[in-house]
């Protein structure tokens, strides 16, 4: 099993130069490799600044642990969390008709809801073998 993951990563890394060539045909300012929550937010942030960004994810899902079933967010003081993270969790809470994040219970959402939000932040583009490309923004 570990061997197949290593092989998958090696194949992905080998495909990266080909992906770069394909992006050279389009106007791309930034390429983000990895569709974890951090990768999606990075691509979203770049797109919000008006740049063209391509988000490459070698797997079949966006969001990493947030959308992979480990979505029970560890919280200390909910008032210090802001920015795009707070915006994301406000959108997730709105799915359940909750519009404030004052209670730690309001920060918990189902993985499929979180993935829908990640996909909503990225327009799905061309699908290459063993790789999904997302054009954010």
Phi-psi region of 7 (alpha: psi -120 to 50; beta: other; left: phi over 0): alpha
Query: pLDDT over 70 for what percent of the chain?
Result: 66
Of 3 and 100, the structure prediction assigns the larger pLDDT to 100
Mean pLDDT across 82-106:
90
Provide the pLDDT for residue 33.
94
Name residues whose C-beta falls within 8 Å of residue 1's C-beta, 6 or more positions apart in sequence. none
Q: In the block, which residue shows the tokens 């990075």?
A: 42
pTM for this predicted structure: 0.67
Name residues whose C-beta falls within 8 Å of residue 21's C-beta, 6 or more positions apart in sequence. none
For residue 120, what pLDDT band results from cuts at 50, 70 and 90? confident
């Amino acid at each position: 099993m570990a061997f197949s993951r290593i092989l998958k990563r090696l194949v992905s890394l080998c495909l990266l130069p080909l992906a770069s060539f394909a992006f050279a045909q389009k106007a791309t300012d930034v390429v983000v490799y990895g569709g974890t929550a951090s990768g999606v937010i990075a691509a979203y942030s770049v797109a919000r600044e008006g740049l063209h960004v391509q988000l490459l994810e070698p797997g079949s899902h966006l969001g990493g642990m947030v959308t992979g079933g480990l979505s029970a967010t560890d919280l200390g003081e909910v008032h210090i969390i802001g920015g795009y993270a707070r915006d994301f969790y406000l959108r997730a809470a709105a799915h359940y008709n909750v519009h404030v994040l004052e209670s730690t219970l309001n920060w918990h959402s189902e993985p499929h809801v979180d993935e829908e939000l990640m996909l909503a932040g990225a327009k799905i583009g061309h699908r290459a073998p063993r790789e999904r490309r997302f054009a954010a923004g």
